[in-house]
C-alpha cells in the first residue's frame, strides 16, 4: 500500500498557507501532508520519513498544484515517487 492510499478521513487539519488551484485542498492527517484535487489525492508527503508520493499527469492543473506544493516544501520532482497507475491526462476526478 502506498502512502497516498493510507489517508484517514478523521483528524484532518486544513493548511491554507500554500497556493492552491481551483478545487484543491491541502491538509495534514497523522503528520502527513496531503493534497486532494477534486476527488483524487494527488500528493502525500511524510516529512518525518522523507517520503513524497504524487500522482503525476492526472491533469495539467494537478501538475501545477503539485509544483506549488513542491516549491512550498522545498522539494523537487526527483524527490517524489510517481504512483499514478492511470493513463496520462486521465484527469483528477474520481481516480
Across 35-69, b (16+ Cβ under 10 Å) vs e yields bbbbebbbbbbeeeeeebbbbbbbbebbbebbebb
Examine the pLDDT at 6 and tell me if it is beyond 90.
no
Q: For residues 73 and 6, which has the higher predicted lDDT (pLDDT)?
A: 73
* Backbone φ and ψ of 72, nearest 5°: -65, -30
Report the pLDDT value the prediction gives residue 60, as an integer from 0 to 100: 92
More confident residue, 88 or 74: 74
Q: Output the pTM of the full model.
A: 0.82
Name the band, by pLDDT with cuts 50, 70 and 90, for residue 16.
confident
Locate the domains of the chain by residue range.
3-82
Q: What is the band of 14 on the pLDDT scale with cuts at 50, 70, 90?
A: confident
Amino acid at each position: 500500500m502506498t502512502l497516498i492510499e493510507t489517508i484517514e478521513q478523521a483528524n484532518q487539519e486544513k493548511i491554507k498557507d500554500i497556493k492552491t488551484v481551483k478545487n484543491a485542498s491541502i491538509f495534514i492527517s497523522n503528520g502527513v501532508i496531503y493534497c486532494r484535487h477534486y476527488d483524487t489525492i494527488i500528493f502525500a508527503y511524510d516529512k518525518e520519513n522523507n517520503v513524497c508520493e504524487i500522482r503525476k499527469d492526472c491533469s495539467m492543473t494537478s501538475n501545477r498544484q503539485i509544483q506549488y506544493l513542491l516549491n512550498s516544501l522545498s522539494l523537487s520532482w526527483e524527490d517524489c515517487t510517481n504512483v499514478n497507475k492511470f493513463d496520462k491526462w486521465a484527469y483528477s476526478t474520481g481516480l
